[in-house]
Amino acid sequence: MESAKNENAAKESNAPKAGWRIKTGFAIFIASLTWPVLLPILPLIGLSTRSIAVFTGIMAVAAEVMLVAGAAVAGKEGFAFIKQRVFGFIKSYGPPQEVSATRYNTGLVILMLPVLYAFLSPYIGQYIPGLDEHRKVYAIAGDVMLLVALFLLGGNFWEKLRALFIHKAIAVIPDKPVGA
């Protein structure tokens, strides 16, 4: 128990402290990533299409410059600190590695529904109520279902999905347990 406390204390002492450089670099990172929030607002304030296009181009370049500037201001230790904090936050809300069989099967069903819809809608679209008037709603619902399914399927599913794109990957299927 005492050694675990000593290890945690050692990790905390080795971790960089959030000084002004790290805080400033992190603020620059956040600013560069939140620029796109302004895009939907621009037409509402009466800017022309040309002005919005120019602003978007400038914004894309400025965001990249700001990312590099944020890394430069924060330094190597600051960048490691920011990366640790951001990925730690994301990982805490990400899907667990192992999930129950019920959750996995539910995720597979939710994953396959939008895939089947996309495959069959050109053939049976006339039988789907409101499809012609509300195509975007159906598309957004399918996208949301895909995202929900990926979280339901858990972290191991990402490895299975990744293995599809690796030529030398081999599927290992566990034997079925012998029933009593």
Is there a contact between 90 and 33 (Cβ–Cβ < 8 Å)? no
Residue 2 to residues 5, 13, 66, 137, 161: CA-CA distances in angstroms? Answer: 5, 17, 44, 57, 42
pLDDT band for position 113 (cuts 50, 70, 90): very high
Give the tens place of pLDDT for each residue, 31-48.
888 877 778 888 888 888
* Residues 48-76: tens digit of each pLDDT: 889 888 888 888 888 888 888 888 888 88
pLDDT at 119 over 80: yes
In 3-state terms, what secondary structure has residue 167? coil
Position 152: which residue type? L
pTM for the predicted model, two decimal places: 0.48
The yes-or-no verdict on residue 168 having pLDDT over 60 is: yes
How many Å apart are CA 32 and CA 26, to the nearest integer?
A: 10
Domain positions in the chain are: 2-93, 101-163
Cβ–Cβ < 8 Å for 81, 24: no
Residue of higher predicted confidence among 2 and 36 = 36
